[in-house]
Amino acid sequence: MNVLRSTFSSLQNRNFRYFWFGQCISVMGTWIQRTAQTWLVYQMTGSAFLVGILTACQFVPILLLTLIAGTVIDRCPKKRILLLTQFGFLLLGLAMTILVYTRLVQYWEVLVIAILYGILQSFDTPTRQSYVVELVGQKDLMNGISLNSTLFNIAKIVGPSLAGILMAQFSVAFCFLVNTISYLAVLLGLFLIHQNNILITDSQRRIWSDIKYGLSYIGHQPNIRLSAELMLVVSTLNFNNNVIIPIFARTVLHSGAQVYANLLSASGIGSLIAAFLMSYLSRFGLQRNIYLFVTAGTVILQTLMLFVHVYWLAMLAMIGVGFCNMIFLNQSNASFQYSIPDNLRGRVMSVYVLLNQGTTPIGSVFAGGVMDVAGGIWGFPACGILAVMLLIPVAFSQRKLIGEWIHGASEEEKI
């Protein structure tokens, strides 16, 4: 019982329970939609590069708008922002459902909807990340971060598998309809939340001055700065599963939508194992040595995908990749969130989201282009090899701090 209580301690907060369970359903719908959308575009175009362009269109707005969104988040009630963004997602899901069901959908229309989705996501994701501390407080912050990661990976497992079943049994349009309906759950959860403390910054500075102040804060915090450098490389090059896996499934494993969904689910299984592990370990604070090991693990595993040509080995590799990626993001999130002033939380987390998702267009276009030229087998290895090359100078320039992380000497941020 003590293990369960410590693993799920943040769910004892009623507001966080409403938020968490609503997000469980909504994020599951999002993964169903992502899986169906990627498969739809690949069927429409037959081009890995154009699939990469789709992903880029969704994430370019994050690259352009997230830092601005961070200042807005610090100035406005987070619940109000989330109500607006989630309702916007619902409308976009409805539009996509109608276009696909009526068979009027064109590639350019999917791109436009992806761009609008990315604009909303620029505000939604950093708001959700920074909202956790308002709901659970500093005491359960690490646990709340881990459980947020857990729900994401439950959805990552179940969502693609459900998408494969729904596409096979019904249609791609039905997947978009399910996603549209799923937003009602998170909207209901938000309406049920009642807060006594709402964190708002009454800033008199211009938005650009607030952005510079947030960036300056990160630049003067060595642990956050190193986390940002690691994220810049790993998040750009090693989080392109949505682009690489459908082409890998079709061209290397010579399979269809169900194997594509199964590989995504395998990655999700590895992530889920890691998420529950980190939820339990959250009571011990930041695990920076583990953070470094999984950084190395994810780039090495993706490089070794060059030698994977059979289904069962691909499934095992995806479990390993998902495990490493989950711990990497969990510890990156904790490194950004822990021990920062509440009045800077939105701006600091906007940088986290910028590095986590905003750089994805670069990696997506790179991976898609490589696979179009060299074949689907090179999607993972090309990203892994380039990541290794870029991480070497980071490791050399930050070798003293990395040594402290390995030996636990810099872990001043204990719960």
Give the pLDDT confidence score for residue 414 in this predicted structure: 41
Per this entry, what is the length of the chain? Answer: 415
Instruction: Express as a percent the part of the chain with pLDDT over 70.
Output: 79
Provide the angle, in degrees to the nearest 10, between the axes of the packed helices 288-304 and 399-407.
110
In a domain, 201, yes or no: no
With contact defined as beta carbons under 8 Å apart, do 258 and 168 qualify? yes
Q: Where residue 412 falls among pLDDT bands split at 50, 70, 90?
A: very low
In a domain, 1, yes or no: no
Interval 279-335: pLDDT, tens: 666 666 667 778 888 888 888 988 998 898 889 899 999 899 888 888 888 778 777
Average pLDDT (95-105) is 86
Among 5-19, 263-277, 341-355, the least confident range: 5-19
Going 408 to 298 to 367 to 67, the CA torsion angle's sign is negative
- Give me the CATH number covering residue 32: 1.20.1250.20
Structure tokens of 144?
């709340």
Question: Rounded to whole angstroms, how far apart are CA atoms 226 and 187?
Answer: 36
In a domain, 2, yes or no: no
Question: Rounded to whole angstroms, how far apart are CA atoms 412 and 137?
Answer: 19
In a domain, 325, yes or no: yes
Give the pLDDT confidence score for residue 381 in this predicted structure: 92
Average pLDDT (241-260) is 81
Give the pLDDT confidence score for residue 141 in this predicted structure: 65
Domain limits at 268?
Answer: 9-192+206-407
Among 7-11, 98-102, 141-145, 306-310, the least confident range: 7-11
Instruction: Express as a percent the part of the chain with pLDDT over 90.
Output: 5
Give the pLDDT confidence score for residue 94 in this predicted structure: 92
In a domain, 301, yes or no: yes
Better-scored residue on pLDDT, 300 or 127: 300
Average pLDDT (69-86) is 81
Interval 180-209: pLDDT, tens: 988 888 888 888 877 666 555 555 556 667
> What residue has token string 């500093």?
138
Better-scored residue on pLDDT, 222 or 230: 230
Q: Which residue, among 219, 234, 231, has the nearest Cα to 344 in the 3D structure?
A: 219
Tally the domains of the chain: 1
Interval 365-392: pLDDT, tens: 788 888 888 888 888 899 899 999 999 9
Average pLDDT (257-283) is 76
Contacting residues for 196 by C-beta, under 8 A, at least 6 apart: none
